[in-house]
Amino acid sequence: MTTNYSELLKRGVQTRRLRRKSVNGFMLSLTGILTLLALVPLFWIIGYVIYRGGKTLNLAFFTQLPKPMGMAGGGVLHAIEGSLIVTLMATVLAFVPGVLAAFYAARNPNTPLGIALRFSTDVLSGVPSIVVGLFGYTLIVKPQGHYSAFAGSVALAILMLPTIIRTTEEMLKLVPGALREGSLALGASEWKTSLNVLLPAAMDGVITGVLLAIARAAGETAPLLFTTLGNERFDLGSIIKSGVQNHQGIFQIMGRIFNSPIDSLPLTLWKYAQQPYPERVDQAWGVALILMILVLTINVIARIWIELRKKKLRG
Amino acid sequence: MENIPQEARTSVRRTLEIEIQELRDALLYLGSMVESQILNSVAALKNRDFDSSRKIIEADLDINRKRYAIEEKVMIAIATQQPMAHDLRLLASILEISGELERMGDYAKGIATINIRMKNDPLLKPLVDIPVMAQKSTSMLHRALTAFIDEDVEVARAIPQEDDEVDYLYDQVYCDLMALIIQDPTTIQRANWLLWTAHNLERVADRVTNICERTIFSATGVMREIETENDKK
Amino acid sequence: MDMKIEIKQKGDWVVDDNPNIKMKTTYLSVNYGKFRALTDINMEISEQKITAIIGPSGCGKSTLLRSFNRMNDLTPSARIEGEIALDGENIYGKNVDVVDVRRRIGMVFQRPNPFPKSIYDNVSYGPRLYGIRDRNNLDGIVESSLRQSALWDEVKDKLHQSGMSLSGGQQQRLCIARALAVQPEVILMDEPASALDPISTLRIEELMHDLAKSYTIIIVTHNMQQAARVSDFTAMMMIDETRSGRLIEYNATNIIFTRPQDKRTEDYVTGRFG
């Protein structure tokens, strides 16, 4: 006798109904609760940092150099300037090689060089940042004989490289191959196609990758320990002023900037948090708040950019 | 659906094949209707059966309807199936042949009309050659349609040669009637009726030749007029 | 196998008297590594006519088309035997500049592939490659190309808008304009309307008729009715026992679709293939 499958199914649907509904409801609630639990650390941290650091934030904090220890007041202008300079320089150093390497890897995934590149990128992204700092120390600080912003930016650039390469490669892969064919069919050479069609098409994604790399680099402390050391008396404004007064060329001024030891936000945080003076500790919290806002903002901007870009591609 | 061959039922173009098969059947049916009409119209004339002639005239409406039905079916097949090459030639030929058949039906209707118009006038002479012409031309028609369905190019090439025989019979009828007219000019009206009847039958045979040309075109793609022995003289 | 075109036939319609031969393949074979994709293709493409290449999937139509503008060179394992001549000169010759070949022989692809740039930049991309920088010249070329591809009226007020914001049919016409901007002599079209809706398809077909007055067009299509509607000559291709693509029959379109000589062609055009 042939089984009446539709009857079986209908019965099965009906009898298990209540059980299905209650299990479903339970699982949904469980998932919701666990999600909230996972969010707790994030919001707790954000909340606490705002609480502890909020009170030290004022205009002076952003615009003044630190006062000698023990005295109240002062700011972290040096750290802000330092972070900006080092991160900017690192981006400049890492951007072009990263993008070019990604181009090569995307176009030639199966050549020995392409495979080696991919492998190295993966390995490099796993190297502890403190090791990279040590590398920078050995490579630049020791021979030069002094700590410098330049050494710090080299270390940060090495850290940024894997992110940039990987993101750029992913973005290039997303560019439809049809675009390349269309350009070649018009008589363009491979490199002109890459430069004029593929790179602009992937650019949005590449920039996102760079932004994310910057966000990471901005928060790194360990590599800067061995390379920039820290410098509470760093004052960009006065360097520029004295340079202009002494008729120094722009490259000379820049040289002076990059060759001097420099501070940065995470480094400052690390130092201040360990000091016995309560004002310094409070200021550490303030720096933490600045850092957190900075990183959050960059991430949010990057994500929004990705969404806008997706919408644009969909037409 | 029973007479649809196995290949058609499993073909990739099953829908089109079935349409074509139905059209072939319809064409054969129309052909047999026309054959009956021709033979019956001559028999009715011979027997002076007015009822039969009236029925024949009415039946011609069916022939027209059938012809238009075939035409519409062909148009639909062309529009919806995009036939190419042989299929296209075949459908175009069916269109043409159904037109020829309809005109042959008109000839039969003409003969029936003649019978009625003659009213109570006796036949000028007993019908001898005219029934033979009817036999011959309907036989040619039957075989030509079969050749079309079978795509038999050899047979299609051969049938038009028999048109010479029909033409010969027509000449006979003409001479006989002419002789009677010369003898007695008052018979001219009655001679005319018979001459016209013979003429209709001669035209049927001519149209069969067209059907044969269409058969060759459908099968081979070559459209050429067939010349008979008489034509070559 | 020598393919001669039967041009004159009985009756009132004559296809062409003595067309000029724009391109000619001589024993063309294409190998991808060990696989022989095409074998011994011999055909002549008539100037300013539309030639369609039809055949079942995988018979090598696109491979053949891409040989005409050396796009097969982009596949590392591709090897060409035989010749393809453009105006009598082999495009695979020793001293031939591939860039110039691709300028003279343009290509439109199956899926519209406008660059993510403005409409203006899309069309002017080609001329800029060849050193045309003067704004007035570029304006003129852009307008002329967009007019030729029947897109000008629809986009003349929004040349700065992204090419991707156009509809599918418009994008394809944009790609055609882009190809026209470098003043090719031959236009290759790889199933140009297969990704488009029926109305856009018909527009592209009408456009092809207009373009054929000035350009030689070779189109690959799997849509037989399109080939029948659009082309002057049709080439029927099929794979042989070794799965290599061959040219089965090549003749005036009218003949291919009303009385083809080869049974395989007949089976294919009547839809009974496979």
A264-287 per-position pLDDT tens digit: 888 888 888 888 888 788 888 888
Chain B neighbors of C259, CB-CB under 8 A: 85, 89, 220-221
Chosen from C259, C270, C272 to mutate, greatest number of chain B CBs within 10 A: C270
Taking the Cβ of residue C263 and every Cβ of chain B, the question of whether any pair is shorter than 8 Å is answered with no
pLDDT in the model for residue C13:
43
Instruction: Quick: pLDDT tens for A116-140.
Output: 998 999 999 889 989 998 998 898 8
Instruction: Give the Cα separation of B180 and B192 in Å (integer).
Output: 11
Cβ contact C270–B82 (<8 Å) = no
CB-nearest to A182 from C113, C129, C165 is C113
* Cα–Cα nearest to C49, from C202, C255, C226, C213: C213
How would residue A219 be classed by pLDDT, with cut points 50, 70 and 90? Answer: confident
Residue B31 neighbours by CB distance under 10 Å: 24
Chosen from C10, C224, C259, C262 to mutate, greatest number of chain B CBs within 10 A: C259
Fold of A80-314: MetI-like fold (1.10.3720)
CB-nearest to C271 from B12, B220, B221 is B12
Chain C neighbors of B87, CB-CB under 8 A: 270
Q: Are strands C21-32 and C35-46 parallel, antiparallel or unpaired?
A: antiparallel
Chain B neighbors of C273, CB-CB under 8 A: 12
Chain A neighbors of C130, CB-CB under 8 A: 187
How would residue A290 be classed by pLDDT, with cut points 50, 70 and 90? Answer: confident
Instruction: Quick: pLDDT tens for C24-43.
Output: 999 999 999 999 999 999 99
pLDDT in the model for residue C23:
93
| Chains touching B (3+ CB pairs < 8 Å) | C
Question: How near does any CA of chain B get to the CA of C215, in Å?
Answer: 29
Joined together, the tokens standing for residue C59 give 């018979």
Residue of C nearest to B87 (CA): C270
* Cα–Cα nearest to A291, from A265, A263, A262, A267: A265
Task: Determine the 3-state secondary structure of C84 from DSSP.
Answer: strand
Joined together, the tokens standing for residue A130 give 């403190």
pLDDT in the model for residue C54:
95
pLDDT in the model for residue C3:
42
CB-nearest to C182 from A187, A189, A196 is A187
Instruction: Quick: pLDDT tens for A8-58.
Output: 888 888 877 888 888 899 999 999 999 999 999 989 988 988 888 887 777
* Cα–Cα nearest to B101, from B29, B195, B22: B29
Instruction: Give the Cα separation of B58 and A18 in Å (integer).
Output: 75
| Chains touching A (3+ CB pairs < 8 Å) | C
Chain A neighbors of C129, CB-CB under 8 A: 186-188, 192
Chain A neighbors of C164, CB-CB under 8 A: 312-313, 315
CB-nearest to C116 from A187, A188, A200 is A200
CB-nearest to C182 from A178, A186, A313 is A186
- Domain chopping of chain A, boundaries: 80-314
Joined together, the tokens standing for residue A117 give 């590149």
Residue C37 neighbours by CB distance under 10 Å: 22
Bridge partner list, C54: C236
Helices (H), chain C: 61-68, 98-104, 119-129, 135-148, 152-155, 168-180, 198-211, 224-230, 253-258, 263-269
- Number of B–C residue contacts, CB under 8 Å: 37
Instruction: Quick: pLDDT tens for B105-159.
Output: 999 999 999 999 998 888 888 899 999 999 999 999 999 999 999 999 999 999 9
Is the pLDDT at B208 greater than 70, yes or no?
Answer: yes
